[in-house]
Amino acid sequence: MLLFKLILSAAIAAALPTPESPEGNPSHPFSRTGLAPWNAGAVNQFPVHSSCNATQRRQIELGLNETIALAEHAQHHILRWKNESEIYRKYFGDRPSMEAIGAFDIVVNGDKKDVLFRCDNPDGNCGIEGYAGHWRGENGTDETVICDLSYQTRRSLSTMCGLGYTVSESETNIFWAADLLHRLYHVPAIGQNWIDHFADGYEEVIDQAKKNATLSTHDSETLQYFALEVYAYDIAVPGIGCPGVQHKHDEPHVDQTSEAVTGQPTPTATNTNAPSTTSEVSPNCHTHEGGELHCT
Ligand SMILES: *[C@@H]1O[C@H](CO)[C@@H](O)[C@H](O)[C@H]1NC(C)=O
Ligand SMILES: *[C@@H]1O[C@H](CO)[C@@H](O)[C@H](O)[C@H]1NC(C)=O
Ligand SMILES: *[C@@H]1O[C@H](CO)[C@@H](O)[C@H](O)[C@H]1NC(C)=O
Ligand SMILES: *[C@@H]1O[C@H](CO)[C@@H](O)[C@H](O)[C@H]1NC(C)=O
Ligand SMILES: *[C@@H]1O[C@H](CO)[C@@H](O)[C@H](O)[C@H]1NC(C)=O
């Protein structure tokens, strides 16, 4: 590119009878940009570091592809139904839909530069029991480390609503798709230091939507739970999903359908299996000061 520009300016200089003057040829900048497509240099795939071997790379790439599928469906659900969707209102309350649409769109269609997944444990955290990965924070703000435990525990979206999973009773990071969505939101290129942790866990997410939904459309957990619930309901088990037990919350007008949802003909195995599944996964989550839930 640089060489090309040099050749180009040399060619132009040779063609010009006089040296370029500041007021020079006004079409000059345009002819330059016209040579490359407007989106030259776009990064369309999330970069995976050379420290990841073939198996690791393949699983991370499959996981990221599922993240895109999850985010894309969440976006399409909102674009189709806006707040007519009960699931939308459950997670985002009375908020306008554009911010959540954008939060999903940037994952699907945003440029994927300045994001890096690596496998070489540069901070030594992968040795910590139960550690599946982390955002490097001040050690590398664009970078996310994926540890071996991820390859052993994360599930494909194809298992959605199986293996005892329910939206309300299981951790979001059971799935590669939601785990990596959460990790992408920590990276400034995607989360823009705007998507953050405000609510901690399913119950707080639901309460936040009811009491003061202002933060909900840029809350990392809310976006994950919403995306999983609409994927379950629209795609995995159409019209039924696997929302899990719904607790009544303070507000009187809360869907009385909650009880009906619980009473759905889900196999009883779902309920008995759910707690053990949850406790298997929850050690990966811990709460930071200020109530920030961090699932590793
Ligand atoms: C990649 O690395 C993991 C973890 O060290 C290892 O279990 C796996 O066998 C490696 N895969 C290949 C293809 O070398
Ligand atoms: C992920 O999706 C991209 C784009 O559709 C595709 O080229 C790539 O092969 C997929 N990766 C895997 C591991 O399936
Ligand atoms: C749904 O969106 C419409 C249009 O923006 C708005 O007037 C209405 O108050 C919203 N309803 C709820 C329950 O948020
Ligand atoms: C950053 O690196 C330091 C020193 O290696 C380490 O103690 C710290 O845990 C790392 N931070 C993160 C977020 O991994
Ligand atoms: C709702 O939350 C926002 C952001 O935390 C805050 O600025 C606002 O005052 C809150 N509104 C109410 C009515 O509590």
For domain 47-243+267-295, give the CATH number.
3.40.390.10
Which pLDDT band holds residue 35 (cuts at 50, 70, 90)?
confident
User: Residue 200 in contact with residue 87, Cβ under 8 Å?
Assistant: no
Burial of 31 (0-12, 13-18, 19+ CB in 10 A): exposed
Residue 106 three-state SS: helix
**Segment 82-138, tens digit of pLDDT:** 999 999 999 999 999 999 999 999 999 999 999 999 999 999 999 999 999 999 999
Cα(189) to centroid(ligand 2), Å = 21
Residue 104 three-state SS: helix
Residue 193 three-state SS: coil
User: Residue 183 in contact with residue 175, Cβ under 8 Å?
Assistant: no
pLDDT, residue 248, reads: 72
Mutate to test the pocket of ligand 2, among 65, 68, 176 (most ligand atoms within 8 A of CB): 65
Domain boundaries, given as residue ranges, for the chain: 47-243+267-295
pLDDT, residue 249, reads: 61
Between CA 190 and CA 275, with CA 200 as vertex, the angle to 5 degrees is: 115
Cα(182) to centroid(ligand 2), Å = 20
pLDDT, residue 166, reads: 98
- Element spanning 143, H or E: strand 143-146
Least confident of 46-55, 63-72, 246-255: 246-255
Which is the closest atom of ligand 2 to the Cα of 58? 13
pLDDT, residue 265, reads: 35
Residue given tokens 């957990």 in the structure block:
221
Cα(139) to centroid(ligand 4), Å = 6
Q: Which residues line the pocket of ligand 4, CB cutoff 6 A?
A: 123, 125, 134, 136-137, 139
